[in-house]
Structure 1
Amino acid sequence: MSPLPCGRSADELVAYLADRDDDPALARHVDGCADCAAELAELERRWAAVRETAVTPVPTPPGLVTRVLAAVHGVRPRLGSTPVEFDQDGGRVRVSERAVLAVCRQLAVELAAELGLHVRGTDVEDGQLQVLVAARYPAPAIAAADDLRSRLAHDLVAHLGDAAPVVHVHLIDIAP
């Protein structure tokens, strides 16, 4: 954007709109400058919608609290959880749920990074692996999450055999 005839920029005026108390010198200038006053009036009109949106209460998305608690719960051991058993090298191996979660999480993190995703949380319960992921815009997030689910399921079967949990991948965030 080109500067106003007085030398000030629209960016300075936007910052002024956001917090008028930050720059007293700019406030004094704006009070006496016709160019800034005209630009400020237009910016005020545009920013009215932003201000209205900023004060509008946003309800917590359905399931968010449950997913957050599951993510926190997923990194802590559950008392009395049943060990997972699977065949390996001619015998049966018993592994704690916490160890299974550690294997699942590590594989999920590695595969997600290859696909441009970030693992925000994991949990294993009742033979189900829940993986919460975030993607960066404009990556093909849904396709990457589907690919993560299928690759992770395949790799877990290779590591855990018939004890591999069913994999569910939830895309919970898209970051700019």
Structure 2
Amino acid sequence: MNEESFASDRRLPCGQRVGELIGYHLDGVPPEFEEHLRDCPHCRAELAEISRRWQPVRRLAGSHAVPSNDLVDRTLTTLRGLRDRHGGQPLELSQEHGKLLIQAAAALSLTRRLSAEVLDDFSGMAVRSCLMADEAVRVDVVAAYPTAAHEFLPEIRRRLVAALHGYLGAGTPDVSVRLADVVPPWDGTGEETDSPPIG
């Protein structure tokens, strides 16, 4: 049974809508429908299929979700990054005729754009976040399974630093690139089959 055949507005040969049967599966079969269900092989087969397909959902709903060990650290880091976008110490760029001050938000925006351009050359990878951490810029990326992301990180960082240097010269901040998450495959064009968590 494909997704189209499972559409809630599809009607069975007896005239019953699949969406109503899904409701009966979730909320219980009303007394007025029980007689029809006893006599209708189409509805019985459809309800059995609905029940089979909902088993993983029920298992997941009944499971206890355990937060990852670094959830608090990731949350606080993200909040610090949001704070830095609205203030913080500017970057100082030494130039021929003096110093140029660049707000962290501008440096982060530039880094994010360049990171996305660099990652265009690495299938199955995307930018999750870009933030200031201890006077350095940290770029977190996500990779679609089974991309060999760890092998690419040094080259991604090298290219990103070179691109930033083209704009900022000697004022290029320290840059780190880390793999933040591995996600289900997506098609790499921005149209996701399973959405990567990109922030």
Taking structure 2 as the reference length, what is the TM-score of the superposition? 0.58
1:156 aligns with 2:198: no
Q: Contact (CA 8 Å) 2:87, 2:103: kept in 1 or not?
A: no
Give the structure 2 partner of residue 172 of structure 1: 181
Per the TM alignment, residue 56 of structure 1 is displaced from its structure 2 partner at its CA by 0.8
| Equivalent position of 1:86 in the other structure | 93
Letter in 2 for 1:121: S
2:40 corresponding residue in structure 1:
33
Match of 2:74 among 67, 73, 78: 67
Q: Which residue in the other structure is 2:139 paired with? A: 131
Q: Is the 8 A contact 2:127 2:141 kept in 1?
A: yes
TM-score with structure 1 length normalisation?
0.63
Query: What CA deviation, in whole Å up to 9, does each residue of 1:128-152 have, x standing for no partner?
Result: 32223345x5673726962543321
* Count of residues in correspondence between the two structures: 171
Distance 1:161 1:46, change over 3 A: same
Q: How far is the alpha carbon of 1:105 from its aligned partner?
A: 2.5
Residues 72 and 121, structure 1, Cα contact 8 Å, conserved in 2: no
CA contact (8 A) 1:97 1:124 kept: yes
Structure 1 residue runs without a partner (length 5+)? none
Letter in 2 for 1:169: R
The Cα shift of 1:71 comes to 2.8
What one-letter code is carried by the residue in structure 2 that aligns with 1:7? P
Equivalent residue for 2:129?
Answer: 121
1:13-67 superposed Cα distances (whole Å, 9 cap, x missing partner): 884576357xx99877545323543564465356434312222121222223432
In structure 2, stretches of 5+ residues that fail to align are 6-11, 184-191, 195-199
Residues 1:47 and 1:98: Cα distance change in structure 2 (over 3 Å): closer
> Which stretch has the larger CA shift, 70-79 or 49-58?
70-79
Structure 1 residues 89 and 15, CA gap change in structure 2 (3 angstroms): farther
User: Aligned partners of 2:48, 2:85: CA distance in 1, in Å?
Assistant: 59
For 1:128, give the aligned amino acid. Answer: A
**Cα distance in 1 between the residues matched to 2:78 and 2:173:** 19
Give the structure 2 partner of residue 52 of structure 1.
59
| Residues in 2 aligned to 1:153 and 1:164: alpha-carbon distance in whole angstroms | 9
- Mapped to 2, the partners of 1:63 and 1:7 lie a distance apart of 53
Give the share of equivalent positions with the same residue, in percent.
Answer: 29
CA distance in 2, matches of 1:46, 1:79: 47
Structure 1 distance, partners of 2:67, 2:83, is 25
* CA–CA distance in structure 2, aligned partners of residues 169 and 149 of structure 1: 9
The answer on whether the counterparts of 1:145 and 1:170 sit within 8 Å (CA) in structure 2 is no
